[in-house]
Amino acid sequence: MQTGSITSYIDVAQLTLYAFWIFFAGLIFYLRTEDKREGYPLESERSSRVLVQGFPPIPSPKTFLLPHGGTVSAPGATADTREIRAEPIAAWPGAPLDPVGRPMLDGVGPAAYAARADVPELTVDGEPSIVPMRVATDTFVAAEDVSPIGMEVIGADRQVAGIVRDIWIDRVEPQIRYLEVELPAQAEPAAAPRRVLLPITLALVSARSKQVQVQSILARQFADVPVLKNPDQVTKLEEDRIVAYYAGGKLYATPARLGPVL
């Protein structure tokens, strides 16, 4: 045997291939383990004692540092304790749920939302990311575009729901996120006009009619849109609840939408 000569009696190419296979298998195992840090174990409709986690198992908790201070551990307490205001239409597992309350507010079906943190998304400077233009004073609507401010908001029933009073923009990804709609004042003399957010993705701004058209909910249903704790910022939980309300209207706004198309 010659000193330092290993390629003459070892198939280096084959060893390299085996090493790649081992590395790739380890990579898949690692990624499949890491993607179970949230959402697992799954809930079982058979019994609360059944642990649904599959293979590989759920990893041990890891602590992450948040960019603006604080920490979060994952996996953590993932159990959702919210009451499900719906009942299965049959006894077999996986049966569709039939709402029993107010589905657009109860978070059922298309109106379901995640229980995210009740804090706003932040910019790199620690400021709220999504704010109205009255806060982001350095933003404006381009002269060649039509501003929706002052336009009437028309519901799916072709009735007037309110007036657009402001535009909410995302300062991280410059774009319009919401329209702020002022609803008519309540019957009480001292009641101030109520303002709610309308997702721009569920609104059609018509330059011809000078109106903002909404097909997901009726005009009277704007009164139940979840309101903000702070009139100048929106939290992640509030965003999910607001968008879920409008999305739920696609199915629950009128009884006719619940029936089959054909």
Averaged pLDDT, 189-198: 79
Q: Are 229 and 237 in contact (CB under 8 A)?
A: no
Residue 68 has what pLDDT? 80
d(C-alpha 111, C-alpha 250), whole Å: 9
Q: Can you tell me the distance from the alpha carbon of 136 to that of 168, in angstroms, rounded to the nearest whole number?
A: 9
Q: Kindly tell me the sign of the dihedral angle through the C-alpha atoms of 29, 33, 36, 42.
A: positive
Rounded-to-integer distance, Cα 219 and Cα 132, Å: 23
How far apart, in whole angstroms, are the C-alpha atoms of residue 251 and residue 215?
11
87, 110 Cβ separation under 8 angstroms? no
What per-residue confidence (pLDDT) applies to 3? 59
Residue 109 backbone class (left: φ over 0; alpha: ψ -120 to 50; beta: rest): left
pLDDT at residue 125 in the model: 87
Q: Which domains does the chain have, with CATH numbers?
A: 130-258 (3.90.50.10)
* SS3 at position 63: strand
Which pLDDT value is given to residue 109? Answer: 87
**Residues 2, 4, 8, 11, Cα dihedral to 10°:** 150
Residue 219, pLDDT score: 94
Distance (Å, whole) CA 201 – CA 210? 18
Q: What is the mean predicted confidence (pLDDT) over 50-59?
A: 86
120-145 pLDDT, tens digit per residue, is 999 988 899 999 999 999 988 888 88
pLDDT of 101 strictly over 90: no
